[in-house]
Amino acid sequence: MKRKILFRGTGTALVTPFKTSGEIDSEALKKLVDFQIEKGVEAIIPAGTTGESASLSEAEQLSLINLVVQQANNRVKIIAGAGANDTSKAIKLAKLAYSTGVDAVLSVAPYYNKPTQEGIFRHYQMIAEEVPIIIYNVPGRTSVNIEAETTLRIAEEIPNVIGIKEASGNISQIMEILRNRPAGFGVWSGDDAITLPLIALGADGVISVVSNEIPDIFSKMVRLALNGKYEEAKKIHYKILPLMNFNFIESNPIPVKAVLAEMKMIEEVYRLPLVPLSDKHRNKMLKILKELF
């Protein structure tokens, strides 16, 4: 099977809006999807880390993904977050998510178990027998790193793994993947602040947090970079850098949901153990937004 890059540009790791009662706010979710598409992103990723997938029931996760698919209506690529640290559960969830009509599934490295690199390879080998997947390397969350050698082995030997969201922050590791990846294997930055340099090194774009807030500005920067217009892209990068950094001043998605609430896009509601943005950081948020807008 010949691979083709699923998308080049910006994919938004979408927040999950909740009502004050705690249930998913479907109307707010629909508006977020339309906002993202109208402002120019190329893909939407529901039910990932930024979407608080760890706090969603399986039924809620599938309902959320299905609603995003229906609202997007084939206007952009949809990649469903559907990972787990139990391979059999990951397969089940991936199959259910894929049945909603998404283009692929984003599958996080198995967390907590701390598998070996061989275990990681076999985990993805089993999932990819069922659905096309993008692997998600985020060792800061999972406590396990998918090494470049393992990623490249997966890329060479498992055709249904179509790319990686790389959020290790290890530039050397990511360069090794970019240098040696087979044709059609996508590499997307998993860290907003290093998207520009990674595109300069050959990455295909980003799966982003900040594009929840400024999809038009950020996706423009990404397109400029992909077109080799690095000086123009760099101006935007440094303009929005304070917001990109702010989004991780507390655990994601606490800051980004606080910003979206300030923008009147959602209610600032989280599920425990996540709690609202601390008062000491709220003034900083308001200052950044005032300077940006």
Distances (CA, A) of 65 to 90, 103, 109, 139, 174: 16, 12, 20, 25, 29
Segment 190-227, tens digit of pLDDT = 999 999 999 999 999 999 999 999 999 999 999 999 99
Write down the pLDDT at residue 3: 87
Rounded-to-10 torsion of CA 135, 138, 143, 149: 60
- Give the tokens for residue 19: 């009502």
Question: What is the spatial distance between Cα 256 and Cα 262, in angstroms, rounded to a whole number?
Answer: 10
Question: What is the spatial distance between Cα 68 and Cα 45, in angstroms, rounded to a whole number?
Answer: 9
9-233: in CATH 3.20.20.70: yes
Question: What is the spatial distance between Cα 153 and Cα 150, in angstroms, rounded to a whole number?
Answer: 5
Length reported for the chain: 293
Q: What are phi and psi of 257, to 5 degrees?
A: -70, -35
Q: Is 292 helix (H, G, I), strand (E, B) or coil?
A: helix
Write down the pLDDT at residue 1: 57
Question: What is the spatial distance between Cα 178 and Cα 187, in angstroms, rounded to a whole number?
Answer: 7
Write down the pLDDT at residue 182: 97
Q: Which of 98, 105, 100, 96 is nearest to 71 (CA)?
A: 100
Question: What is the spatial distance between Cα 55 and Cα 46, in angstroms, rounded to a whole number?
Answer: 13
Percent of the chain at pLDDT > 90 equals: 98
Q: Is 151 helix (H, G, I), strand (E, B) or coil?
A: helix
Q: Where are the beta strands (DSSP E) in 9-138?
A: 9-13, 43-45, 77-81, 104-108, 133-137
Give the Cβ contact number of residue 167 at 10 Å. 22
Say if residue 126 is exposed, middle or buried (CB neighbours under 10 Å; 0-12, 13-18, 19+): middle
State the DSSP H helix or E strand holding residue 120, giving kind and residue range, or none if neither.
helix 117-128
pLDDT in tens, the chain (293 residues): 578 999 999 999 999 999 999 999 999 999 999 999 999 999 999 999 999 999 999 999 999 999 999 999 999 999 999 999 999 999 999 999 999 999 999 999 999 999 999 999 999 999 999 899 999 999 999 999 999 999 999 999 999 999 999 999 999 999 999 999 999 999 999 999 999 999 999 999 999 999 999 999 999 999 999 999 999 999 999 999 999 999 999 999 999 999 999 999 999 999 999 999 999 999 999 999 999 98
Write down the pLDDT at residue 24: 98
Could you state, in order of their start, the residue ranges of all structural domains in the chain?
A: 9-233
For 191-203, the three-class secondary structure string (H helix, E strand, C coil) is: CHHHHHHHHHCCC
Q: Is 137 helix (H, G, I), strand (E, B) or coil?
A: strand
Q: Which of 32, 92, 64 is nearest to 213 (CA)?
A: 32
Write down the pLDDT at residue 180: 98
- 133-137/161-166 β-pairing: parallel
For residues 284 and 248, is the Cβ–Cβ distance under 8 A?
A: no
Q: Give me the active site residues, please.
A: 136, 165
